[in-house]
Amino acid sequence: MSAAAHAVSPAASLTSAGGTNARIRVTVNGQAVVAEIEPRTLLVHFLREVLGLTGTHIGCDTSHCGACTVLLDGKAVKSCTVLAVQTDGREVRTVESLEVGGKLSPVQEAFIECHGLQCGFCTPGMMMSATALLAKTANPTEAEIRDAIRGNLCRCTGYVNIVKAIQSAGQKMQSAAGTGGKA
């Protein structure tokens, strides 16, 4: 093993040694965050390694698998394909934001009830795509659901129960809205 001549102190940060960091202000899960990061830092690494939000997973780093899906200003995006600096001044929501005040979101509840997950690795991204879909389409058809999650690969479930879970979550949200939005 050949060792480097310069001394480097191990740190888990993503700041660059060259002093060319960028400062970003971003709202993550409702919290204002200010951070100095290397400009090339991917959003998924920023979330996982700087903020410690490890619920967002990395499954491919080429935008195919969707395990890293988060909401950027309400829109589902793959956080392996967004630079953290692009989120400056914007709002990011991750899986950690779904449960509010100890209550799971309808999507989370439905994924459990319909057995919409097995190994759990694709689940956070899948639920974020589902959350984005249901925010704009209250009662999606099966074809609309399958289309909305086509960018989220799952190797365990064969999608049957994921589709059921999203349908069920939509129904839960509708009936909650029918009772004045208070579930």
Partner 1 sequence: MSAAPPHIKGGIGQSILRKEDARFVRGKGNYVDDVKLPGMLYLDITRSPYAHAKITAIRTERALKVPGVLAVITGKDLEAAGLAWMPTLMSDKQMVLPTDTVMYQAQEVAAVVADSRYAAADGAAAVEVDYEPLPVVTDPFKALEPGAPVIRTDRSEKSNHIWHWETGDKSGTDQLLTSSPVRVEQDLYIPRIHVSSMETCGCVAHMDSVTGRFTIYMTTQAPHAIRTVFALVAGLPEQNIRVISPDIGGGFGGKVPVYPGYVLAAVASIKTGHPVKWIEDRSENLQADSFARDYHIHAEVGATADGKVTALRVKTLADHGYTDAAANPSKFPAGLFHIITGSYPFAKAFVEVDAAYTNKPPGGIAYRCSFRVTEAVYTIERMMDILAHRLKIDPAEFRLKNFIPPEAFPYSSALGWTYDSGNYAGALQKAMQIIDYAGLRREQAEKRRRGELMGIGISSFTEIVGAGPSEKFDILGIKMFDSAEVRIHPTGKVIARFGTKSQGQGHETTYAQILAEELGIPADDIRVEEGDTDTAPYGLGTYASRSTPTAGAAAAVAARRIREKAQKIAAHLLEVSPDDVEWKDYAFRVKGVPSKSKTMQEVAFAAYTNHPRGIESGLEAVDYYDPPNMTYPFGSYICVVDIDKETGQIHVRRFVAVDDCGTIINPMIVDGQIHGGLTMGFAPALLEEIQYDENGNIRGGSFTDYLLPSAVETPKWETAKTVTPSPHHPIGAKGVGESATVGAPPAIVNAIVDALQPYGVEHIDIPVHPWKVWQILHGAEAKAK
**Per CB under 8 A, which of residues 118..177 are in contact with partner 1?**
118-124, 127, 142, 145-147, 149-163
Tokens 């709202």 sit at which residue?
27
Closest CA to 84 of 35, 146, 134: 35
d(C-alpha 78, C-alpha 103), whole Å: 26
Please identify, using beta-carbon distances, which residue of 9 and 179 lies nearer to partner 1. Answer: 9
Q: Taking the complex as a whole, how short is the minimal distance between the CB of residue 51 and partner 1, in angstroms?
A: 12
Judged by CB under 8 A, the chain residues 28 through 57 that form the site for partner 1 are 38, 40-41, 45, 48-49, 52-57
Label each residue of 48-114 as H, E or C: HHHCCCCCCCCCCCCCCCCCCEEEECCEEEECCCCEHHHHCCCEEECHHHCCECCECCHHHHHHHHC
Size of the site for partner 1 (CB under 8 A): 75
Please identify, using beta-carbon distances, which residue of 55 and 170 lies nearer to partner 1. Answer: 55
d(C-alpha 110, C-alpha 145), whole Å: 14
Q: Taking the complex as a whole, how short is the minimal distance between the CB of residue 22 and partner 1, in angstroms?
A: 14
Q: Taking the complex as a whole, how short is the minimal distance between the CB of residue 70 and partner 1, in angstroms?
A: 11
Q: Taking the complex as a whole, how short is the minimal distance between the CB of residue 108 and partner 1, in angstroms?
A: 4
Q: What is the three-class DSSP state of 148?
A: helix
Q: How many Cβ atoms sit within 10 Å of the Cβ of residue 152?
A: 26
Please identify, using beta-carbon distances, which residue of 80 and 180 lies nearer to partner 1. Answer: 80
The answer for residues whose C-beta is within 8 angstroms of residue 128's C-beta and 6 or more apart is 69, 70, 71, 76, 93, 94, 95
Judged by CB under 8 A, the chain residues 64 through 83 that form the site for partner 1 are 64-65, 67
Q: Binding to partner 1 by residue 103, rule CB under 8 A? A: no
Interface stretch with partner 1, choices 71-79, 85-93, 115-123, 169-177 (CB under 8 A):
115-123
